[in-house]
Amino acid sequence: MVAATAWGAEEKVPRFASLRADEVNLRAGPGERYPVEWVYHRKGLPVEVTAQVDVWRRVRDSDGTEGWVHQRMLAASRSIIIVKGKDGTLRRDPDASAPGVARAEAGVVARLLECKGPWCRIETGGIKGWLQRTDLWGVYPDETVE
């Protein structure tokens, strides 16, 4: 599905984005008249944009929490979060037998660099490595990221 914004540009829905600020209000509806239901305090947190109304975006986080944020609070830059219940070994190459370069704990937010098949390359704390796509939230199962 593609939605038109107030300026005529088209944006794909659904899509992933990340929070632009350290404090982002999640509202019950698309406008400032709606109450704030949650406040995010984690710049770079990945969210999935599921709908658009004018300058408002309905988003869902990795826990399934949904609400509305202003478009200026979202960045197009991609990030991921390590899936809860998993601690991932970042690999030097996209192969389960490749040497590990670091361990990433569940809940870590990292920058998404690229995805090839079942593997995604990420960067966190200045360390780059590959993790299996199934260990991440913030990228679609069949999505190619270059």
Q: Peptide bond preceding 99: is omega within 30 degrees of 0, i.e. cis?
A: no
pLDDT for the residue 141: 94
Peptide bond before 14: cis, by omega within 30 degrees of 0?
yes
Q: What is the CA radius of gyration of the chain?
A: 16
pLDDT tens figures, 123-137: 999 999 999 999 999
Task: Determine the pLDDT at residue 10.
Answer: 55
Residue 89 contacts residue 74 (beta carbons within 8 Å)? no
pLDDT band at 33 (very low <50, low <70, confident <90, very high): very high
pLDDT interval class at 63 (50, 70, 90): very high
Taking residues 49-75, report their average pLDDT.
97
Closest to 140 measured CA to CA, from 16, 18, 45, 2: 16
Q: Is the pLDDT of residue 56 over 90?
A: yes
Residue 84, pLDDT score? 72
Mean pLDDT score of the chain, rounded to an integer? 91
Query: Tokens 């990030």, residue?
Result: 79
pTM of this prediction? 0.89
Of 52, 89, 75, give the one whose Cα is nearest residue 138.
75
- Candidates 47, 58, 66; CA nearest to 138 is 47
| Cα–Cα nearest to 26, from 75, 74, 69 | 69
In the chain, the domains with their CATH numbers are 2-76 (2.30.30.40), 80-137 (2.30.30.40)
Identity of the highest mean pLDDT range in 13-17, 83-87, 101-105: 13-17
Pair 69, 18: CB distance under 8 Å: no
